[in-house]
Structure 1
Amino acid sequence: MKAFKLENEPRIKNGFKTPDHFFDDFSAKVLQQINEREVKVIPIYKRKQVIAMIAAVLVIALMIPIVNNYNKSKELDEATLETYLSYQSNLNQYDLIRELDTKDIESINKNIVLEQETLEDVLSSNPNIENLLSE
């Protein structure tokens, strides 16, 4: 590989040039333009629109926690209910079955779809088939 030497390579000239004598009176021009502009200062307390916007933002900010607490649902989700019931040691499957009515049983039957292969796999892999059949 050929050695690369930066000093021997041709250099590209910069395309940006400043006009002649540009920086001689640059600061004087800038100061002159700054002094020419006088900004009209409008106090914020005299602007009714600004005060109304600030009041609206404060009202909305204060209402967010109230609305969040108001909209909380009082119903239990399924995961919370299942966790609660699984940690209750005095409940068993017969207590739960006794509380079911016909609508609940019909909805359970509609939701459960077992394939023949899945059922055979469970029965063949479980050594206590008699316990499963008796339940």
Structure 2
Amino acid sequence: MKTFKLENEPKIEPGFKTPDHYFENFSIKMMKQLPVNEPKIISIFQKRKLLLMLTAAAILILALLIPILSPTKSSTKELDTVALENYITYQSNVNQYDLINGLETKDIEKINTSIVLEDEAIEDHLSTNSNLENLILE
């Protein structure tokens, strides 16, 4: 292996050269290109704008939550007695024993009230009713 000596080898010249008097005016040219330091201006209206946006967002959220959080009245309708009687009448699988089993003792005691009918009222009803045969069969 050959010995390598740095001083004896031919030197390569650099490809870049600085122009004449470049560094003499460099700082002046650089200072002209820099922006002038202006004081930062903070607008008063930015805080007011932010406060206005936050207020609007809070109002919107509350408006959306009111239907969820407020108690609503249920719109359940009471059962119509005629519709209930018709339903029970036309259901073939419901008999009187099923109805009695579904009632409580208080309800049964309320039903046991005696109804006083006069004979004349019964005769009038039977004479005007055309379904006399159905009444007899029941």
Report the TM-score, using the length of structure 1 for normalisation. Answer: 0.35
Question: Which structure has more helix as a fraction of its residues?
Answer: 1
Greater gyration radius: 2
